Amino acid sequence: MNEFLRTLVAAGVCALGASGVASAAPPAAPAPSQSERLRSLDWAPFTAAIGRFPAERYAAIDTLVAKATIVDVQGAMKGGALTAEELALYFLSRIRQHDERLRTILELNPSAIDEARASDARRKTGSTLGPLDGIPVSLKDNIETAAPMRTTAGAEILLDHVAPKDAPLVAQLRARGAVILGKANLSEFAGSITSIPLFGGSTAIGGQTINPHGRYPTAGSSSGSAAGVAARLAMVSVGSETSGSLISPSAYNGVVGMKPSLARVDGTGVVPLISYNDSPGPIARTVTDAAALLDAIDTVSVDYVAGLRTDALDGVTVGMLNKDIAANPENTPLLQAASGTLVALGARLRPAALVDTPAWGTQETFLTYLSAGIRHDMLPYVAARSRTVKTPEDLIAYNAADAKRRIPFDQPVLKGLTPLSATMSRADYTALAMKLRQAAREILEGAFRRTGAEVLVSFENTHSPYYATAGFPAITVPLGLRAVGSIIDPLGITNVGMPVGITFIGKPGDDARLLAFAYAFEQATNLRVLPTLK
């Protein structure tokens, strides 16, 4: 792991990276510390329907969903082999069975079954609303939803906060007939409070999200979305990225995650961390599903699914960020395998590097940027909904006043970052944001230009500060499970058997091509591993 990411890990901001490929089941390990939910999941609207749901239908749908795409599911519903109501009941049944351990969901949508039945009614009359009609979707709980669901960012101070209306992306999902299952757990306030005990995924409201593959980090901050999709507790989910917040949990939980080009998805109504970086995006088990979800929530008219091709990488120049990837020697076998696949697909590989410029600054520069986002973007959102908390210092004091309830996993990230922006004005923050955005763009553009590459290849969230800050798109695809590894310090657990992802970085606006590249690689490898839940 390079020193830049080491600094972020030390601050509790980013997930720890590691590598290797394996097919063996992960070793047994003790459960992490867990906190009680501040609000239990309300099963009253669903208990009767779940009780009537035949076991044989659950088993049949389980077999279908394990490998099906949204396209496959829509075909089953169109052909009468499946209903949207049955699909919703399947996912609700799995949540009821597994989520008290996995903690991927903070709140259920009490209208989920009604929304599914409405989809079935539309299908009977031939008036479906598109590829997402009847598809169960979870939403990271920093995305605003109208009553009765709350929007909490996982924080006790927002426990009862109800947004006045849906975020635009949620309104688009509803208009396309998606069934909103509920709100997904996350790293509290998008990772700005704590990163322990498993490098992300913990909140005061819902506790610690558990990686369904075993005793491994969940990463953050879209951990509930990624773990829930991996465990088949939702068909797809909408997460959000600030710097690795969507890509890293997707890689760590063995699913596909995409950070679109900045503003490709309207971020209005998303609780901010760094408004200049924040970008909602799809999390799915397949590239096809990520493409279908992006099509439903984006702001442009592009049929991403129609553009997916198995030969998309043929003749394409690919810039390999080998030096940074191989800085961790455990990545070497994975890098060799991935490179071989890319060559077999017809790609022309070129060594590439991201060369920092003076304007990019030091490691502390980005941490200061993050601190300023907390102060000038996140806290104003909180302040508008609180009588007493107006600054990061106020939030620290508020949490400490009832630590067991408000910060069950402590608040080392917030306490560590807050002093870095103590004297920074909003104008200074904006100037820093524009400076870093331009620097990140120049660094990435330099790598593209020097290699002639149409896409860059990274691993997990290794280069997320660059593409997230520049607003470039990125997508991670499963590379299987690690066969070689080490003890993850300071957790004292092995990363052997942990999922890993290859990450493709595209040029701004090239989201459709990036999805096609990822699809070609996915179809050639098929390295996603289904977790075994007990």
pLDDT-based confidence at residue 22 (cuts at 50, 70, 90): very low
| pLDDT beyond 90 at 11 | no
How many angstroms separate the CA atoms of 312 and 513, rounded?
Answer: 8
How many angstroms separate the CA atoms of 533 and 164, rounded?
Answer: 37
List b or e across 191-217, with b for residues whose CB sees 16 or more CB atoms inside 10 angstroms. bbbbbbbbbbbbbbbbbbbbbbbbbbb
pLDDT attached to residue 31: 47
What mean pLDDT do residues 228-256 have? 98
Which of the following is catalytic: 19, 35, 119, 140?
140
CB distance 465 to 508 below 8 Å: no
What mean pLDDT do residues 103-115 have? 98
| pLDDT beyond 90 at 386 | yes
What's the one-letter identity of residue 175? A
Q: Which residue do the tokens 């002093």 mark?
A: 419
pLDDT-based confidence at residue 102 (cuts at 50, 70, 90): very high
- Give the range among 37-46, 141-150, 482-491 with minimum mean pLDDT: 482-491
CB distance 296 to 172 below 8 Å: yes
Rounded CA Rg of the chain: 21
pLDDT attached to residue 513: 98
pTM, full prediction: 0.95
What mean pLDDT do residues 230-248 have? 98
What mean pLDDT do residues 354-372 have? 97
Q: Which two tokens stand for residue 82?
A: 């499946």
Of residues 486 and 43, the one with the higher pLDDT is: 43
Element (H, E) at 248: helix 247-252
Burial group, residue 478, by CB count within 10 angstroms (0-12, 13-18, 19+)? buried
What mean pLDDT do residues 298-317 have? 98
How many angstroms separate the CA atoms of 531 and 62, rounded?
Answer: 13
pLDDT-based confidence at residue 32 (cuts at 50, 70, 90): low
Active site residue 245: yes
How many angstroms separate the CA atoms of 266 and 167, rounded?
Answer: 9
| pLDDT beyond 60 at 1 | no
How many angstroms separate the CA atoms of 227 and 329, rounded?
Answer: 27
pLDDT-based confidence at residue 309 (cuts at 50, 70, 90): very high
Could you tell me the domains of the chain? 37-301 (3.90.1300.10), 362-428 (no CATH)
Which of the following is catalytic: 202, 225, 245, 261?
245
Active site residue 301: no
What mean pLDDT do residues 274-290 have? 98
| 118 CB neighbour count, 10 Å cutoff | 18
| pLDDT beyond 50 at 110 | yes
pLDDT digits (tens, 9 = 90+) for 35-91: 999 999 999 999 999 999 999 999 999 999 999 999 999 999 999 999 999 999 999
- Average pLDDT taken over every residue of the chain: 93
Residue among 185, 258, 198, 207 at smallest CA distance from 498? 198
Residue 284 φ/ψ, nearest 5 degrees: -155, 170
Which of the following is catalytic: 93, 119, 221, 421?
221
pLDDT digits (tens, 9 = 90+) for 182-229: 999 999 999 999 988 888 899 999 999 999 999 999 998 999 999 999
What mean pLDDT do residues 354-368 have? 96
What mean pLDDT do residues 136-153 have? 98
- Give the range among 5-19, 79-93, 118-132 with minimum mean pLDDT: 5-19
Burial group, residue 284, by CB count within 10 angstroms (0-12, 13-18, 19+)? buried
| pLDDT beyond 60 at 12 | no
DSSP string of 498-530?
Answer: -EEEEEEE--TT-HHHHHHHHHHHHHHH-----
How many angstroms separate the CA atoms of 214 and 196, rounded?
Answer: 16
